[in-house]
Each structure stands twice: as structure tokens, then as C-alpha cells.
Amino acid sequence: MRNRNNRVEVYLSDNELNSLTENVRKSGLSREAYLRLLIAWIRPKEQPPMQFFDVLKELRQINVNMNQIAMRAHTLKED
């Protein structure tokens, strides 16, 4: 069942609509989700660029590799 049963219509100027559309695009949220956050006094942040996620993936892999090296070094030290 739908939680949100109330509809609100708002008239915006072309500039206001363009600004809203651009901010929604940058956030990666739906327009409705973006507006709900604003109503709750939460300023949505911009979504990070895709390169951010690529770098994060590489850092995670480096972390895995370093842990494997540390575990191997630890076992060699005990022998």
C-alpha cells in the first residue's frame, strides 16, 4: 500500500525548473526523493564522479593484496 497519498503541484519558472533539474541530476536521486530531502531540511549532496568508484575499487584490491602479503610474512616469520 502506498505511504504517500497526498499530491502537491508547484509552478516553477524556467530558471527554477532548470536549477531543480540540474541539482537532481547531480545528486543521482529522483526528483521526488530530492524534494523530500529538502522538505526535511537535508541538502542532498552531489553524487561522486564515476572515477571515484574506480579508484575506490583499486584501493580495495590493494588492501586485499597487502593483507595477503602481511599474512604470508607472518607465517614465514613463525617458521
Residues in the chain: 79
Cβ burial, residue 34 (10 Å; 0-12/13-18/19+):
buried
pLDDT-derived band at 39, boundaries 50, 70, 90:
very high
Domain range summary for the chain, segments of one domain joined by +: 1-47, 48-79
Please report, rounded to a whole number, the percentage of residues in the chain having pLDDT higher than 90: 80
pLDDT at 79: 58
pLDDT at position 63 over 90: yes
pTM over 0.75: no
